[in-house]
Amino acid sequence: MTEHTLTVAGVAVDPRHWIGGERVASAGTFTDVSPIDGRALGEIARGTPAEAAAAVAAAKAAFPAWAATPRAERARILHAIADGVEKRLEELAIVETADNGALLRSHRRGVMPRVAHNFRFFADWSLTLDHEDFETRGHTNHVSWDPAGPCVLITPWNAPLMLATWKLAPALAAGNTVVLKPAEWSPLTASLLADIAAEAGLPAGVLNVVQGYGSEIGDALTSHPDVRRISFTGSVPTARRIAASAAAHLTPLSLELGGKSPLLVFADADLDLAVDLAVEQYDNAGQVCLAATRILVEETVAEEFTRRFVAKAGALVQGDPREEATDIGPTIHPRQLEKIDGFVRRAVEAGARVVVGGHRRDERYYAPTLLTEVAQDSEIVQEEVFGPVLTLQTFADEDEAVQLADDTRFGLAATLVTGDRERADRVTGRLTAGTVWVNCFFVRDLKAPFGGSRHSGVGREGGTWSFDFYCDLKNTVTAP
Ligand code: NAD
């Protein structure tokens, strides 16, 4: 503990940057506020371009030794980080909930175990990458997966540590060094992770964490000539700025962006399953990029579907995310809630009918909402709300279902509920989406490619695709 240390829900958190294996303060700070009750959690280092540059310099200095460390040794250290995450799982869960307002029970049972799994999975996967050899007219081709260099990872607030480690683990396992910039609305668990990584024996400078506003330090990171990869998860407008900034040095980008995914319910579906999956879209108060926020139901079952949906949604408990019984917590920030409310008000003015919710409970909690009688080209159908707001439209047949499902500028995911496997295959083949779930939702294997098409992203990460991105593949041709 130092005079800088914050105590958040009983857990000590250092609010300073972590650069080159040392805690570094900034002249300025910003206030981190809990979405649960608006209470200030503490003052966090407000990074400047100078600190961003110092973090890249530290990552650059640490790169040669880490890149030369045998893969098996890197994997051992990543497993030690996973051990540290598991040892401090309860603390990480409590701090993440205080910081971003998502459910404590899901942090405890789903998210933080998955954070540890991210390290274990990518550590092990790095050992399976073949150094492939093949022959050309007697010459040997030797293909190797070389680490790329310092990587900048920029992450959002809706699943802070899970999304950060989904990038961090493969980047480190591949032999890269990293500058991580967490979102300013959820800066705390990245700082705890820096402590855990140091305790696990990760050498100084291999992981650096810079806190602050993206608008103030983003450019210094993304336009830096020594940065070899940028992986970003966040919104489309920020992605545009990052792409423009990265263009200066043609730095390769991985962009995981927003969505407006459909949930298609055919008349031959198990309707209870369809309703369960639809109501699940309110998870994390709707702040999930993959959420299927556009429910499309075949006309003949729309009335029955809606009746069952209303009953099930009505039973959801909204409140303090630390309570075991709570299903839906707060929105990240009153500003975000204002945005959500604006979307709903404009939709209603444009003729939408409120079936469920449609109002704020207070300045932090927005009631789970279902709107119907919405036009395909309306804002509420076309734009990502990033809150607990779903729309319901009907379709007459498969062609119309596909046409409505595919008619946005996004392409992150789609969910189909149908009893007909052949229909599922046909429809899946016609949809633009990085992930399609058939009669299920959110089943994710780290081996699978993950990403979006169109405005939902550029590139794929996951399994070998992560190493494709974080490595420079090299082919060495040797004469006989
Ligand atoms: P955001 O774009 O506002 O911020 C994301 C991060 O970018 C933050 O760390 C922020 O500080 C940083 N940033 C802001 N301006 C920057 C700049 N000029 N240069 C560099 N970095 C900058 O997004 P958000 O509101 O935090 O997150 C919500 C969005 O993220 C939604 O659109 C959601 O769909 C998307 N998301 C996508 C996925 C996915 O995997 N596809 C997952 C989660 C969230």
* pLDDT tens string 250-278: 999 999 999 999 999 999 999 999 999 99
Q: Is the dihedral of CA 343, 345, 346, 347 positive or negative?
A: positive
Ligand 1 pocket, mutate which of 111, 166, 224, 233 (most atoms under 8 A from CB): 233
Question: Is the pLDDT score of 2 beyond 90?
Answer: no
Q: Determine the distance separating the centroid of ligand 1 and the alpha carbon of 160, expressed in angstroms.
A: 11
Burial class (CB in 10 A: 0-12, 13-18, 19+), 216: middle
CA distances, 26 to each of 42, 145, 151, 461 (Å): 14, 37, 22, 33
* pLDDT tens string 55-100: 999 999 999 999 999 999 999 999 999 999 999 999 999 999 999 9
Q: What is the ipTM of this complex?
A: 0.97
* pLDDT tens string 424-452: 999 999 999 999 999 999 999 999 999 99
Q: Is the CB of 329 under 6 A from ligand 1?
A: no
According to DSSP, the residues that pair with 256 across neighbouring strands are: 233, 457
Q: Determine the distance separating the centroid of ligand 1 and the alpha carbon of 144, expressed in angstroms.
A: 33
CB distance 212 to 28 below 8 Å: no
Average of per-residue pLDDT across 309-317: 98
Ligand 1, atom 22, residue with closest C-alpha: 214
Q: Is the CB of 452 under 6 A from ligand 1?
A: yes
Q: Determine the distance separating the centroid of ligand 1 and the alpha carbon of 332, expressed in angstroms.
A: 13
Catalytic residue among 96, 184, 256, 384: 256
* pLDDT tens string 27-42: 999 999 999 999 999 9
* Average of per-residue pLDDT values in the chain: 97
Q: Determine the distance separating the centroid of ligand 1 and the alpha carbon of 157, expressed in angstroms.
A: 8
Share of the chain above pLDDT 70, in %: 100
* pLDDT tens string 168-187: 999 999 999 999 999 999 99
In this predicted structure, what is the pLDDT of residue 4?
A: 84
CB distance 148 to 225 below 8 Å: no
CB distance 390 to 277 below 8 Å: no
Ligand 1 pocket, mutate which of 167, 181, 235 (most atoms under 8 A from CB): 235
Ligand 1, atom 10, residue with closest C-alpha: 214
Query: Taking the complete model, does pTM exceed 0.90, yes or no?
Result: yes
Question: Which residues lie below 8 Å from residue 250, measured CB to CB, with a gap of 6+?
Answer: none
Q: Determine the distance separating the centroid of ligand 1 and the alpha carbon of 183, expressed in angstroms.
A: 7
Ligand 1 pocket, mutate which of 165, 221, 230, 289 (most atoms under 8 A from CB): 289
In this predicted structure, what is the pLDDT of residue 233?
A: 98
DSSP H or E run through 107? none
Determine whether 373 is an active site residue: no
Question: Is the pLDDT score of 166 beyond 80?
Answer: yes
Which atom of ligand 1 is the closest one to the Cα of 336? 25
CB distance 271 to 305 below 8 Å: yes
Q: Is the CB of 47 under 6 A from ligand 1?
A: no
Question: Is the pLDDT score of 471 beyond 80?
Answer: yes
Q: Is the CB of 218 under 6 A from ligand 1?
A: yes
In this predicted structure, what is the pLDDT of residue 132?
A: 78
Length of the chain in terms of residues written:
480
In this predicted structure, what is the pLDDT of residue 272?
A: 98
Question: Is the pLDDT score of 1 beyond 80?
Answer: no
Question: Could you tell me the pLDDT band of residue 130, with boundaries at 50, 70 and 90?
Answer: confident
Question: Could you tell me the pLDDT band of residue 146, with boundaries at 50, 70 and 90?
Answer: very high
Q: Is the CB of 453 under 6 A from ligand 1?
A: no
CB distance 157 to 187 below 8 Å: no
In this predicted structure, what is the pLDDT of residue 427?
A: 98
Average of per-residue pLDDT across 386-403: 98
Q: Is the CB of 158 under 6 A from ligand 1?
A: yes
Q: Determine the distance separating the centroid of ligand 1 and the alpha carbon of 159, expressed in angstroms.
A: 11
Q: Is the CB of 413 under 6 A from ligand 1?
A: no
Ligand 1, atom 9, residue with closest C-alpha: 183
